[in-house]
Amino acid sequence: MTASPITTWHTEAARVAAGIRLRVLEHVLANNGGYMSQACSSAELFAALYTRIMRLGPSIAPAVPLPFAGVPSATNPRAFTGAGYNGLKAPDLDRFIFSPAHYALVLYATLIETGRMAPEGLAQFNQDGSTVEMIGAEHSPGCEVTSGSLGQAISQAAGIALARKRRGETGRTWVMLTDGEFQEGQTWEAFEVLSAYKLDRVGVYVDVNGQQCDGRMADVLAIEPIADKLTAFGARVAVVDGHDLDALVAPTEMEPDGRPLVVLAYTDPCRGLEPLRARAPKLHYLRFASAAERIPYQQAFEAMAAGAKE
Amino acid sequence: MEILSKVYAKRFAAWAADKPEVLVLSADLTSSVEVDVFQKTYPGRFLSMGMTEQNMHSLAGGLAREGFLPFIHTFAVFIYRRAYDQICDSIAYPNLPVRMVGFLPGVLTPGGITHQAIEDVAVLRALPNLTILEVGDATEIEGVLAATESIRGPVYLRMLRGEVPRLFAAGEPFTFNRARQITRGDDVTLFSSGISTEEAMRATSVLQARGVSINHLHVSTLKPFSDPAVVEAAAQARHGVITLENHTIVGGLGTCVAEVMAEHGVGQKLVRIGLPDVFAHGASRPYLMREYGLDALALVRGVERLLGQDLKITEDDLSAVRLQEVHSASKAEAL
């Protein structure tokens, strides 16, 4: 290895981010639909988390995800979670709590790009009997809690972090959220508690893409200024360009100071995929209306794939 | 009959003494839900959550995933109405050992619609993985915590506070999924739960005196509802079955009994007494029990409907009853 460690990290993170967009686009083209804009907005965020920010052990889960083993119950000892893809749970290691369950495809792509899941695992996406679900749940790769009802993961993470604090664990608990979740009352309840209990080993990364199912958040229900509100709730807030890897990482290098850390990563929901802009403001789910609409996406895919080979 | 005070407060603190994994989550009603003794004794294990009920339930799920045994304490109504989504996804689906202790069920509070948990059993009974228990007296309060120890999943408890009678002998504790035999009889089978059992006992002694024998069972496990003694008792009644509960007649004890009777082909008439599919309002417990027909007199009228006769029992007859502590009929027989 001739490159400096920092250069190596940047190169790797950029490769992972490009790989996430490419893999998600490939999947969307093959399946005539998917959560595309979420990959465009959060690719660097996931890449930075998994390559630089989070201290995770290697995956202890099967490279090709196991089939669904049934819902948890007193009579089903075979039920499992997808936490193993984020490595062994250990006092000094970090944990990842994934909130926006409809970003699951982005998470799976991240696991593949970082060598935690086999590429062929994605073939099970949204297939009956599979854990690689469209809306991730706790059994899905990379997931540890069931979070599809938005706003619940941050509180569950607070419980996990509170438990870890009581045990004197040094590892941090990272939560990935989206800006839409700040419309939910529960998110603010959680921040009241995170602040009051000084859970400063909780770090929250928010993909602030300004989008929700019905369209632009500013049009659906405007909630800015998020940073001011969070600061008033006692959080330590960093506002960054969500496509700038250095900016994403920088806030995590500060020593915890008693406040929960929130990194508001402002992102472009069409980043790296220009044809997507034509669909604004409805970007939540991409399904091609016609063969003609598909063409520019196919062309974009081919250009991105060629770029990835260079 | 012995009346005891703050039974839960004392018992919970004593029971939790040697269980460091037990954490208490309270939502700004600490002394109102009798966890103040625990708070004073074990302040390090007491987590004040303020009025963040949705957050509190999800957070409890997180604690349980990490090996703690979280006990949520608040009014029953603020558990299932306020945080149903969180109970479902953060607690019940993952089958986590969270204990939700709901105080002031039904018409026990004069707080009106906003404070009265009248359909909690109906709502929560539909949740897979959840166990639902309801205590009827001091003896059951004292024993129910031990009874939850073998339950690995989540438990919802309909709890009593303040002055509580001891209806059942102290030596006969709460037993999971086992109905408690109060009286034996052939004419009518009666199932009651919670505070309704005390009310039912007032009626049964007068009914027995009029020659109507009542097979009375007190039910304290509402989910699962699979005690074979219930079906057996329902099948044996000469004139029919009657239920009495501090809950709407939709989805609670009466519905549980109806379901198992139908499933087992028990072809008996069934009279369900409870809130008759209406909301209650703010007033005292005795006033509401009279207004909505949840009291001993209402039970007598229900029995009369099953028998098709007027037993000429008056309110004075019922108020003259002095309840004695009950040793289970089965044990008495064995003696």
Q: How would residue B334 be classed by pLDDT, with cut points 50, 70 and 90?
A: very low
CA pair distance A176, A94, nearest whole angstrom: 13
Q: Are B50 and A192 an interchain contact pair (Cβ–Cβ within 8 Å)? A: yes
Q: What whole-number distance in Å separates Cα of residue B101 and Cα of residue B9?
A: 12
- Best mutation target, A68, A75, A156, A182, to test chain B (most B CBs within 10 A): A156
For B36-150, where are the E strands, in sequence order?
A: 46-48, 69-75, 99-103, 131-134
Fold of B3-165: Rossmann fold (3.40.50)
- Under the banding of pLDDT at 50, 70 and 90, the label for residue B330 is very low
**Averaged over A7-25, what is the pLDDT?**
95
Residue A49 distance to chain B (closest CA, Å): 22
Helix (H), strand (E) at residue A215 = strand A215-216
Distance CA B143, CA B328 (A): 15
pLDDT in tens, B179-198: 999 999 999 999 999 999 99
Candidates A72, A73, A158; nearest CB to B59:
A158
Q: What is the CA radius of gyration of chain A?
A: 19
Percent of chain A at pLDDT exceeding 90: 96
Mutation target to probe the B interface, by most B beta carbons within 10 A, among A133, A154, A189, A195 is A189
pLDDT of residue B321: 87
Query: Is A74 in Cβ contact with B68 (below 8 Å)?
Result: no
- DSSP letter at A34? B
CATH of B180-334, one of 3.40.50.920, 2.40.100.20, 3.40.50.1240, 2.40.160.40: 3.40.50.920
- A261 forms bridges with which residues in the sheet? A203, A236
Q: Is the pLDDT of residue B107 over 90?
A: yes
Q: Which pLDDT does position A118 carry in this prediction?
A: 98
Q: Given pLDDT bands bounded at 50, 70 and 90, which one contains residue B326?
A: confident
Query: Closest partner residue to B129 among A73, A147, A152, by Cβ?
Result: A73
Domain with CATH 3.40.50.970 in chain B: 3-165
Assess whether pLDDT exceeds 50 at residue A1.
no
Per-residue confidence band for A308, with pLDDT thresholds at 50, 70 and 90: confident
Residue intervals of chain B classified under CATH 3.40.50.920 are 180-334
CA B234 to chain centre: 20
pLDDT, tens digit, 9 for 90 and up, residues B284-312: 999 999 999 999 999 999 999 999 999 99
Counted across chains A and B, CB pairs separated by less than 8 A come out at 109
Q: Where are the domains of chain A?
A: 5-309
**Which of B21, B23, B59 is best to mutate for the A interface (most A CBs within 10 A)?**
B59
pLDDT digits (tens, 9 = 90+) for B207-253: 999 999 999 999 999 999 999 999 999 999 999 999 999 999 999 99
**Averaged pLDDT for residues B158-166:** 97
Residues from chain A contacting residue B63 (CB–CB below 8 Å): 159-160, 162-163
What CATH topology corresponds to A5-309? Rossmann fold (3.40.50)
What does R_g of chain B's alpha carbons equal in angstroms?
19
Please identify among residues 138-157 of chain A the ones whose CB lies closer than 8 Å to any CB of chain B.
138, 144-149, 151-153, 155-157
